[in-house]
């Protein structure tokens, strides 16, 4: 009998509770509308700022294109990048690497740099037909030539199996400041120049380290950039023909006979 009474009373109670719930939700609804209006205003402001930065980026892109054309630089095209998903995390206490689902069949070769949406994460060290292993910048065996974007101070980025690889082989008084943008220098002919790496900072022991840009996003989707290192000079370069030790008499003339006159000037 109690269950039957509950079945009859439930629709009536539900109908009576609807106005009360509507009144109770009025305050949160208006508060949500005010928050949405404020968020919309901030997004409009950011969109206007981004449009200004877009114009600056387009002008810089055009200027860089002119510089590359003048210097005959061959930068990697965006269409050549190889998209891959990480399928396994091979990181442990001794090795920092990722297994990605793209190999030689997709055009991957050993030594190609791997980046995510924010910056460099490492380079390929083992390539199969359908998979590759990417050695991360934090690995103990990782060595990358880098430089400060502001001062061009050179260094070597050494991985030590921590989240923040250190900068080594700096000068005694390096021109570095905390927050300097670190990019690849290309001096080692292993990675191309200008790939974003991270920001420099001093640890508690006074050593320079780098907070990697790539840590700002999960290492799920990566892009592998084809890069052809500069070839070594050939062992036997083409010989330039040597000039003759003596010129013909018709050019130099002899003590007894002057040089042949120039037919155009008469001298």
Structure tokens at 250: 């018709």
- Reported in sequence order, the residue ranges of 11-96 that DSSP labels E, i.e. its strands, are 82-89
pTM, to two decimals: 0.61
CA 14 to chain centre: 59
pLDDT digits (tens, 9 = 90+) for 149-202: 888 899 999 999 999 999 998 877 888 999 999 999 988 888 999 899 999 999
pLDDT digits (tens, 9 = 90+) for 85-108: 988 776 666 678 999 999 999 999
What pLDDT shows up at residue 12? Answer: 74
What pLDDT shows up at residue 243? Answer: 59
The H or E element that residue 212 is part of is: strand 208-212
Q: Rounded distance, CA 182 to CA 153, Å?
A: 9
Q: Residue-wise pLDDT tens for the chain (267 aa)?
A: 877 777 777 777 777 777 766 666 677 777 888 888 889 989 988 888 888 888 888 888 888 888 877 877 655 544 478 999 988 776 666 678 999 999 999 999 999 999 998 999 999 999 999 999 999 999 999 999 999 988 889 999 999 999 999 999 887 788 899 999 999 998 888 899 989 999 999 999 989 999 999 998 888 889 999 988 877 776 666 666 665 666 555 555 554 555 455 555 555
Which of 203, 156, 147, 220 has its CA nearest to residue 180? 147
Structure tokens at 9: 């009373």
What pLDDT shows up at residue 112? Answer: 94
Q: Rounded distance, CA 76 to CA 226, Å?
A: 7
What pLDDT shows up at residue 32? Answer: 84
Contacts of 224 (CB under 8 A, 6+ apart): 81, 82, 84, 100, 102, 108, 112, 113, 114, 124, 132
């Amino acid at each position: 009998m109690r269950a039957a009474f509950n079945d009859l009373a439930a629709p009536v109670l539900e109908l009576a509770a609807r106005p009360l719930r509507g009144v109770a939700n009025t305050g949160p609804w208006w508060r949500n509308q005010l928050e949405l209006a404020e968020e919309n205003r901030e997004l409009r402001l950011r969109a206007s700022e981004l449009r200004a930065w877009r114009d600056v980026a387009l002008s810089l892109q055009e200027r860089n294109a002119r510089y590359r054309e003048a210097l005959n630089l061959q930068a990697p095209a965006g269409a050549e990048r190889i998209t891959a998903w990480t399928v396994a995390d091979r990181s442990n206490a001794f090795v920092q690497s990722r297994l990605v689902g793209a190999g030689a069949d997709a055009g991957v070769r050993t030594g190609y740099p791997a980046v995510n949406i924010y910056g460099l994460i490492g380079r390929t060290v083992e390539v199969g037909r359908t998979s590759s292993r990417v050695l991360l910048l934090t690995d103990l065996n990782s060595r990358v030539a880098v430089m400060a974007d502001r001062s061009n101070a050179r260094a070597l980025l050494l991985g030590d199996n921590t989240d923040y690889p250190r900068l080594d082989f700096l000068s005694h008084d390096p021109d570095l400041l905390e927050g300097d943008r670190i990019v690849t220098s290309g001096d080692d002919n292993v990675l191309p120049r200008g790939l974003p790496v991270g920001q420099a900072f001093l640890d508690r022991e006074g050593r320079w380290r780098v907070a990697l840009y790539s840590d700002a996003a999960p290492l799920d989707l990566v892009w592998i950039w084809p890069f052809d290192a500069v070839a070594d000079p050939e062992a036997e370069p083409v010989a330039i023909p040597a000039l003759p030790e003596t010129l013909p008499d018709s050019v130099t003339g002899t003590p007894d006979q002057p040089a042949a006159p120039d037919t155009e000037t008469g001298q």
